Amino acid sequence: MNIFYVDGQFVAENQAQIPVTDLSVLRGFGIFDFLRTYNGVPFHLGDHLLRLERSARLMGLLLPCPVNAMTEIVMETLSQNNHKESNIRIVVTGGASLDGITPGDSPRLLVMITPVIQMPAEWYTQGGKIITCNAERFLPGAKSINYIPAILCQNEAHSRKAIEAVYLDRDGYLLEGTTSNFFVLRGDTLITPPCDRVLPGITRQVILALAGKEFEILERRVHKDEIRLIDEAFLTSSVKEVAPIVTIDAVGVGNGQPGSRTLRIMEMFREYTAEYRG
């Protein structure tokens, strides 16, 4: 049984609850962050909590406690569970509201620990298919719990046997996946959209640091008309890690197989996480 932290108490997953009057329920108002462990250690927890703090600031949401106290809560919740590797979801809800819409001063903190589930092996050996979807985040820098566009786009992706949907803005530029960041390779140049329009992923940040040792890095927008010119593509996230992409909207990428440069970046990330100790 998973043990969660809910508003000051450690409870079994099936006992976890918050009031239905919380703004997260009434209005979908709240923030979260998500990470996993490697070797039992939360991966870049400090960076994730800084992003949570930034999300709160952008959305005008109070944090229920300082980041250093939140770190202790996360570590204690993790110790209450016994998974080989864990997913960690940190949620700050909008809390109670006198009029049902105005945030008050009682946000709630939830920390949910679940076991890591491996993604299908063929995603990494054969590569995946993605689609594009006309949508974008309302506040790109904030990791809000409101995932209406993401869920609708994911539903469309699943109906078309794709592993992810990538947001396409009104000018035809690819931004990010519903739960991932998007990268392409043209020759030895690694290209990814800049953070002014996308959520700054922590795995994205790590990949840029690692790949920058061997590849030229270019942060710029990628237009849909460039898809046929792309040599390789991949997604990054805490769940997907580095997932090669071989088809975008039924257009083949490169030779239709995970490319050698992507495989090298996957290897670099595996080596980094294998040695990660915080």
Instruction: Count structural domains, the chain.
Output: 2
Mean pLDDT of all residues in 213-236? 97
pLDDT tens sequence across 98-151:
899 999 899 999 999 999 999 999 999 999 999 999 999 999 999 999 999 999
pLDDT above 90 (res 260): yes
Domain final residue, candidates 115, 150, 166: 115
Mean pLDDT of all residues in 182-186? 99
pTM (2 d.p.): 0.96
Instruction: Please name the amino acid found at residue 86.
Output: S
Domain final residue, candidates 81, 115, 149: 115
Reduced 3-state DSSP string for the chain: CCEEEECCEEEEHHHCCCCCCCHHHHCCCEEEEEEEEECCEECCHHHHHHHHHHHHHHHCCCCCCCHHHHHHHHHHHHHCCCCCCEEEEEEEECCCCCCCCCCCCCCCEEEEEEECCCCCCHHHHCCEEEEEEECCCCCCCCCECCCHHHHHHHHHHHHCCCCEEEEECCCCEEEEECCCEEEEEECCEEEECCCCCCCCCHHHHHHHHHHCCCCEEEECCEEHHHHHHCCEEEEEECCCEEEEEEEECCEECCCCCCCHHHHHHHHHHHHHHHCCCC
pLDDT of 104: 87
108 shares its domain with 133:
no
Mean pLDDT of all residues in 228-256? 98
pLDDT of 264: 99
177 shares its domain with 74:
no
Owning domain of residue 136: 122-274
173 shares its domain with 105:
no
pLDDT above 90 (res 248): yes
150 shares its domain with 184:
yes
170 shares its domain with 78:
no
Distance CA 145, CA 108 (A): 13
167 shares its domain with 234:
yes
- Residues for the chain: how many in total? 278
Closest CA to 112 of 16, 31, 239: 16
